[in-house]
Amino acid sequence: MATFSTAERKRRPHGDRKSSEMTLHLKQTFEAAILTQLYPRSQIDIYVQILQADGGNYSSCVNAATLAVVDAGIPLRDYVCACSAGFVEDTPLVDLSHVEESSGGTQLSLALLPKAEHLALVEMDARLHQDHLEGLMDAATRACKDLHAVLDRVVREHLQEVSTQLGE
């Protein structure tokens, strides 16, 4: 996270507990999606820098890294789309902002492979009644699918443009 990304300037951007936790989550998510058996004895490095942190840090990192991996030509099982969801005063909301996250309610982060609806990572803070869990996960899944449509459209437009240019 860049030092200027949060409301108050971050003193130590690397090595603190939240960054290490996010690093580990990102690693687990992409190990599930990238076909690593095609890269023996190799290492794939993904570097993400957050320029403006206003909620949904993990989700935006995952979405950005997915686009980067697709652009690099590294084989993936499917796009990885992530979104956060939570309960604010009994209403399920998706894509929480920083203010909504710090209001103390439940916060669920979901990383999904949209086509087969495989969950790459599910992470939740605070307590949530069991009855609400399914509704919240459905809301997050739907948001991830919408995100997938946006990412897919951008990738296909770029593909079309470049293949037309190359084909000439």
Which residues from 63-122 bind another protein, rule CB under 8 A? 70-79, 113-116
Q: Is 39 in the site for another protein (CB under 8 A)?
A: yes
Q: Which is nearer to another protein, 98 or 118 (CB)?
A: 118
How wide is the angle at C-alpha 80 spanned by C-alphas 22 and 167, nearest 5°?
A: 130
Q: Which is nearer to another protein, 67 or 88 (CB)?
A: 67
Give the separation between CA 70 and CA 18, rounded to whole angstroms. 27
Residues 6 or more apart whose CB falls under 8 angstroms from that of 59 comprise 82, 83, 84, 95, 109, 111
Q: Which is nearer to another protein, 9 or 158 (CB)?
A: 158
Q: Is 147 in the site for another protein (CB under 8 A)?
A: no
SS3 133: helix
- In the complex, the residues that contact another protein under the rule CB under 8 A are 35, 39-42, 70-79, 113-116, 152, 155-156, 159-168
